[in-house]
């Protein structure tokens, strides 16, 4: 290219095209989960594979490599440098991994999902173990293609969280382990006396629950001109700054479950919808994976699980469900600890993190080869006993409960990083806003909260690496301190410690 | 490539990829019409444009050109030759059109759809006119790239109907104009005396009507494991042999309107769903545009508007809508001529074709530049007066009523070709089936009808060019004769001529 400007524009066009194709693919994924008739799977699988291939070709192309070379020492603005940095990262990862390996990983993962379903249904880990080992080998091979010099687990981790040093996250996890295990112990000792309220027994149909869920996110500020709320087997968020949709799933006996999931997904959507529209398709208009879960956790926990929220929302809740619960009772019901629950996705706000820490430990040792695949069930059960004092009776309720490993490793930690960062952002917001945040919540005035997040987080897209963005938004690097203070205070109060 | 087999396989992989990408794009289109939140348009337009571009690159590539060269004189089976023929046609059209133009057409078209909706809602043709003119310019430019030697309208026409000579279709249209205008006149003169039944005044809500519509297409054999029925502003069909969805739109005062549209779209879906699954992605597994409308018209008119169908369906209809109409009354109501109706998609089976002939005339003159965009409303209104004796009060009921021009020109004639061919296929089927077709319909046994169509039409995909397929299925080339005989007999009977 004749000039830096031309090279930059050409590169920008290519990363935009790549983004648009990925977003097209995401829409196909949403459709598959939400609206596609059952019989459509074979056709959809081929459409998705074709889209993957052409998107890969766009980002891994020689042309992108050439532009990156031409721009390597160019004099760029901060925004331009960020675009080049993010494009380079994605290009290198795509260009270094052979297409056949990408395809094998994708095929093996898809087959593994079916195997996993059967193995889980039949509580037969041995039937799944060889495939899990194969997935490990393939992902290690992939990591070695990306960077042969480094520990494969680290490479996998950085695929998710390139800018949050692994050591920092490990340090955060050590602190959580150190303080959460005794805290949970203390709280459980106090549980009988505290006798927190729960929901009454009952059944609430899907239509009723969905009207309630819709009202909740409308209240929080979800813009239905740029979103939708549907149901799917697993709740998820899909979209961009123009159109970001959420789903939830409904359990007849537990309307708090769907409501919490809905508010959680709303948090994800608020991030997407807060990205700058003018930067759609460029890295400046895309979210950080490292940050995403903090937004869902902020709305789920720091808004939806507060006493102030239930003071606001209890009448609506009672109205729709025909209950007569006080705000205090609903606040307690939304925050009851259930450490006896063996299933991560049903865990409470606090014990949840021991589930994540357990998986992170196991997958790290498994990826390194230190832990053999056949040892996973017993190590899992031992750690459950150590952390939460319960031991699964079956692998279906133990190491077979999550589908995630069919898609690879080193992604679980992001759930806990999200909660930790949510508390840190919440503290910074409360410090920063010239208002009583609880009073705002109680009044249903959520705009200032969302606007603070948009200003300090969403609007930057990937302008700054995640670690720098965190420091700019909160004044300090990621730290466990705010989260630990928050849960100690909140659950200490609830359980009368 | 070292061998014919290698070259063929390579070509096949490329045309499959192209098909998958087009189908991905079709799903995005369905989503945009049915489920997408309003605000999503800008992002969707860019996703669709990017998909168009990469699909274009796949089919227009040097590699495809090389394979086609290598296979030019190869010894191929009939199926292989058909794949090569269809791929060559698509390759040549795509290779001749510059990528930027494809992208601009796609983006402009997507944005125009939203503009059209607003313009129609606000009866504001002037707001839409500049975009319509831009669409014309872009499509003329496109046609000139495809073939600079020929009339752009003819090039556009052959993009839709490559195997049905324009002269043949014009000849068919001339015969229709010649015999339909006096027939309609005669029928209208007899209308008072005939005094055909209509629906009673009333309002039926969307839910009720949609249950009825669903039941109707289930009865006809629509497989909901491979389909869906939704509402959208303009009814359409979208999909493939694994997943083919239909939409309809509901008018509270006229349940026959939605029902007819639903059955029509079911006909389209029956074609898609009858294509061979093993050939998904190849031309042998794709439908002919030239044939498609014959399938919707067959089910709409030759099944759904027969006396036999109403003898079967009247109880269901009455049941859902709380009416007490006899089969004869419903047959009359479904076939009443309403030349005063200004809206094509609500027109009766007969006057409908004057709407199509009107559009075909206007678009041909508009494309050639003979007719300025600003003249369209008045020319439209003049022709409506000339052909049907009515004049629209507003452009919303006139030239803004259809969305089609946002996607280009020269497609409207296919609606009338479809009716003509449906009558020809119906005659061939009745001749061929060893059964009384009316009795089958009366008994609700639609499988033999659909199976005949699948055997003679659907299962071949594009194995034969459309003209050859028509001759194979009916024993003769496309002719207006069966349609004219059919309408003269049917409406003559109804109106007592």
Q: How does pLDDT run along chain A (497 residues), one tens digit per residue?
A: 679 999 999 999 999 999 999 999 999 999 999 999 999 999 999 999 999 999 999 999 999 999 999 999 999 999 999 999 999 999 999 999 998 898 899 889 888 988 999 999 999 999 999 999 999 999 999 999 999 999 999 999 999 889 999 999 999 999 999 999 999 999 999 999 999 999 999 999 999 999 999 999 999 999 999 999 999 988 999 999 999 999 999 999 999 999 999 999 999 999 999 999 999 999 999 999 999 999 999 999 999 999 999 999 999 999 999 999 999 999 999 999 998 899 998 899 999 999 999 999 999 999 999 999 999 999 999 999 999 999 999 999 999 999 999 999 999 999 999 999 999 999 999 999 989 999 999 999 999 999 999 999 999 999 999 999 999 999 999 999 999 999 999 999 999 98
Say yes or no for a CB contact (<8 Å) between B43 and A242: yes
User: Which of A22, A243, A245, A278 is the best substitution to test chain B (most B C-beta atoms within 10 A)?
Assistant: A243
Note the pLDDT tens digit of each residue in B118-132: 999 999 999 999 999
**Residue A390 sits at the chain B interface (C-beta within 8 Å):** no
Provide, as residue numbers in chain B, all residues whose Cβ is less than 8 Å from the Cβ of A31. 27, 31, 35
- CB-nearest to B54 from A37, A54, A239 is A54
Provide, as residue numbers in chain A, all residues whose Cβ is less than 8 Å from the Cβ of B246. none
Token digits for A361? 């430990």
Say yes or no for a CB contact (<8 Å) between A24 and B24: yes
Mention every residue, 6+ apart, whose C-beta is less than 8 A from residue A301: A349, A419, A422
Distance CA(A384)–CA(A355), nearest Å, equals: 8
CA distance B274 to chain A (A): 14
Task: Please determine, for residue B2, whether its predicted confidence score (pLDDT) is greater than 90.
Answer: no
Closest CA relative to residue B316, chosen from B450, B222, B218: B218
Provide, as residue numbers in chain A, all residues whose Cβ is less than 8 Å from the Cβ of B227. 37
Say yes or no for a CB contact (<8 Å) between A40 and B16: no
Mention every residue, 6+ apart, whose C-beta is less than 8 A from residue A262: A213, A216, A217, A229, A235, A246, A248
B380 neighbors B400 (Cβ within 8 angstroms): no
Closest CA relative to residue A327, chosen from A458, A447, A438: A438
Radius of gyration from C-alpha coordinates of chain B = 23
Task: Please determine, for residue B110, whether its predicted confidence score (pLDDT) is greater than 90.
Answer: no
**Residue B355 sits at the chain A interface (C-beta within 8 Å):** no
Pick the CATH number of B166-494 from 1.10.645.10, 2.60.40.10, 3.30.230.10, 1.10.1370.30: 1.10.1370.30
CA distance B51 to chain A (A): 7
Q: What are the structural domain ranges in chain A?
A: 1-96, 105-497
3-state secondary structure of B431: helix
In chain A, whose CA is at the least distance from the CA of B54? A54
Say yes or no for a CB contact (<8 Å) between B50 and A241: no
**Residue A63 sits at the chain B interface (C-beta within 8 Å):** no
Say yes or no for a CB contact (<8 Å) between B28 and A27: yes
Say yes or no for a CB contact (<8 Å) between B17 and A245: no
**Residue B42 sits at the chain A interface (C-beta within 8 Å):** yes
In chain A, whose CA is at the least distance from the CA of B226? A39
Provide, as residue numbers in chain B, all residues whose Cβ is less than 8 Å from the Cβ of A44. 242-243
pLDDT given for residue B334 in this prediction? 96
CA distance A30 to chain B (A): 10
Which residues of B participate in catalysis according to the annotation?
Answer: 265
Say yes or no for a CB contact (<8 Å) between B27 and A17: no
B414 neighbors B161 (Cβ within 8 angstroms): yes
From residue A441, alpha-carbon distances to A138, A264, A444, A453 in Å are 48, 16, 5, 15
In chain A, whose CA is at the least distance from the CA of B46? A20
Say yes or no for a CB contact (<8 Å) between B226 and A21: no
Question: What secondary structure does DSSP assign to B69-86, as a single string?
Answer: HHTTT----HHHHHHHHH
pLDDT given for residue B234 in this prediction? 86
pLDDT given for residue B106 in this prediction? 82
**Residue A243 sits at the chain B interface (C-beta within 8 Å):** yes
Cβ-based contacts under 8 A for chains A and B = 128
Mean pLDDT of B351-359: 95
From residue B195, alpha-carbon distances to A199, B189, B191, B199, B332 in Å are 65, 11, 6, 13, 9
**Residue B178 sits at the chain A interface (C-beta within 8 Å):** no
Note the pLDDT tens digit of each residue in B366-382: 999 999 999 999 999 99
Residue that has been written with the tokens 């969403």 in this structure: A458
Provide, as residue numbers in chain A, all residues whose Cβ is less than 8 Å from the Cβ of B50. 16-17, 20-21, 24
pLDDT given for residue B164 in this prediction? 94
Token digits for A417? 């990083």
CA distance B49 to chain A (A): 9
CA distance A329 to chain B (A): 36
Give the 3-state secondary structure of B255-300: HHHHHHHHHHHHHHHHHHHHCCHHHCCCHHHCCCHHHHHHHHHHHH
Say yes or no for a CB contact (<8 Å) between A43 and B224: no
Paired residues of B246 in beta bridges: B229, B237
Distance CA(A328)–CA(A318), nearest Å, equals: 13
Which residues of A participate in catalysis according to the annotation?
Answer: 265
* CATH code for the domain defined by A105-497: 1.10.1370.30
Say yes or no for a CB contact (<8 Å) between A27 and B20: no
Strand order from edge to edge, sheet including B237-239: B229-231, B244-248, B237-239
In chain B, whose CA is at the least distance from the CA of A50? B17
pLDDT given for residue B373 in this prediction? 97
pLDDT given for residue A204 in this prediction? 98
Q: Counting Cβ atoms within 10 Å, is residue A208 exposed (0-12), middle (13-18) or buried (19+)?
A: middle
Q: Counting Cβ atoms within 10 Å, is residue B462 exposed (0-12), middle (13-18) or buried (19+)?
A: buried
- CB-nearest to A27 from B31, B50, B242 is B31
Mean of the per-residue pLDDT values for chain B? 95
Task: Please determine, for residue B173, whether its predicted confidence score (pLDDT) is greater than 80.
Answer: yes
**Residue B245 sits at the chain A interface (C-beta within 8 Å):** yes
Residue B230, φ and ψ in degrees, nearest 5 = -130, 180
**Residue B35 sits at the chain A interface (C-beta within 8 Å):** yes
Say yes or no for a CB contact (<8 Å) between A43 and B243: yes
Provide, as residue numbers in chain B, all residues whose Cβ is less than 8 Å from the Cβ of A28. 24, 27-28
In chain A, whose CA is at the least distance from the CA of B21? A47
- CB-nearest to B228 from A35, A54, A240 is A35
Distance CA(B17)–CA(B58), nearest Å, equals: 8
Provide, as residue numbers in chain A, all residues whose Cβ is less than 8 Å from the Cβ of B20. 46-47, 49-51
Distance CA(B215)–CA(A188), nearest Å, equals: 56
Mean pLDDT of B411-423: 96
Task: Please determine, for residue B102, whether its predicted confidence score (pLDDT) is greater than 90.
Answer: no
CA distance A57 to chain B (A): 10
Say yes or no for a CB contact (<8 Å) between B38 and A225: yes
In chain B, whose CA is at the least distance from the CA of A224? B37
pTM higher than 0.90: yes
In chain A, whose CA is at the least distance from the CA of B280? A43
Provide, as residue numbers in chain B, all residues whose Cβ is less than 8 Å from the Cβ of A286. none
DSSP classification of residue A342: -
Note the pLDDT tens digit of each residue in B318-332: 999 999 999 999 999
pLDDT given for residue A396 in this prediction? 95
In chain A, whose CA is at the least distance from the CA of B23? A47
**Residue B28 sits at the chain A interface (C-beta within 8 Å):** yes
CA angle centred on B431, ends B428 and B433, rounded to 5°: 100
Provide, as residue numbers in chain B, all residues whose Cβ is less than 8 Å from the Cβ of A36. 243
């Amino acid at each position: 290219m004749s000039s830096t400007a031309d090279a930059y524009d050409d590169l920008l066009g290519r990363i935009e095209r790549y983004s648009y194709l990925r977003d097209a693919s995401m829409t196909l994924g949403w459709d598959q989960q939400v609206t596609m008739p059952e019989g459509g799977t074979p056709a959809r699988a081929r459409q998705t594979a074709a889209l993957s291939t052409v998107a890969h070709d766009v980002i891994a192309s020689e042309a992108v490599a050439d532009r990156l070379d031409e721009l390597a020492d160019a004099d760029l603005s901060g925004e331009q440098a960020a675009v080049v940095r993010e494009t380079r990262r994605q290009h290198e990862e795509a260009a270094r991994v052979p297409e056949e390996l990408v395809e094998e990983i994708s095929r093996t993962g898809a087959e593994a999902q079916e195997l996993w379903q059967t193995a889980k249904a039949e509580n037969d880990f041995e039937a799944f173990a060889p495939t899990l080992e194969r997935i490990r080998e393939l992902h290690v091979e992939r990591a070695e293609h990306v960077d042969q010099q480094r520990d494969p687990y680290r490479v996998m981790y950085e695929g998710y969280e390139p800018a949050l040093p692994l050591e920092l996250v490990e340090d955060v996890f050590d602190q959580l382990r150190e303080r959460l295990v005794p805290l949970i112990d203390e709280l459980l000792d106090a549980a009988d006396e505290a006798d927190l309220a729960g929901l009454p027994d009952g059944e609430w149909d899907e239509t009723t629950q969905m009207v309630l869920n819709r009202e909740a996110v409308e209240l929080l500020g979800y813009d239905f001109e740029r979103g939708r709320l549907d149901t799917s087997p697993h709740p998820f968020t899909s979209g961009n700054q123009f159109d970001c949709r959420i789903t939830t799933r409904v359990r007849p006996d537990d309307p708090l479950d769907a409501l919490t999931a809905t508010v959680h997904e709303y948090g994800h959507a608020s991030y997407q919808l807060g990205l700058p529209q003018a930067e759609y398709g460029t890295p400046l208009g895309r979210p950080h994976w490292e940050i995403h879960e903090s937004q869902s956790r902020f709305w789920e926990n720091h808004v939806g699980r507060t006493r102030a929220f239930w003071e606001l929302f209890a009448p609506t809740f009672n109205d729709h469900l025909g209950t007569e619960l006080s705000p205090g009772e609903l606040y307690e019901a939304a925050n009851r600890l259930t450490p006896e629950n063996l299933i991560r996705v049903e865990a409470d706000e606090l014990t949840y993190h021991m589930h994540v820490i357990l998986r992170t430990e196991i997958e790290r040792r498994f990826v390194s080869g230190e832990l053999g695949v056949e040892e996973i069930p017993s190590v899992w059960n031992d750690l459950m006993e150590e952390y939460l004092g319960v031991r699964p009776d079956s692998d279906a309720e133990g190491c077979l409960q999550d589908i995630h490993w069919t898609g690879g490793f080193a992604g679980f930690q992001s759930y806990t990083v999200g909660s930790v960062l949510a508390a840190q952002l919440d503290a910074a917001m409360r410090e920063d806003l010239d208002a009583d945040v609880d009073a705002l919540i109680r009044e249903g005035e959520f705009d200032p909260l969302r606007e603070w997040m948009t200003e300090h987080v969403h609007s930057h897209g990937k302008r700054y690496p995640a670690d720098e963005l965190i420091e700019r938004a909160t004044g300090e690097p990621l730290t466990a301190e705010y989260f630990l203070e928050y849960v100690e205070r909140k659950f200490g109060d609830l359980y009368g410690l």
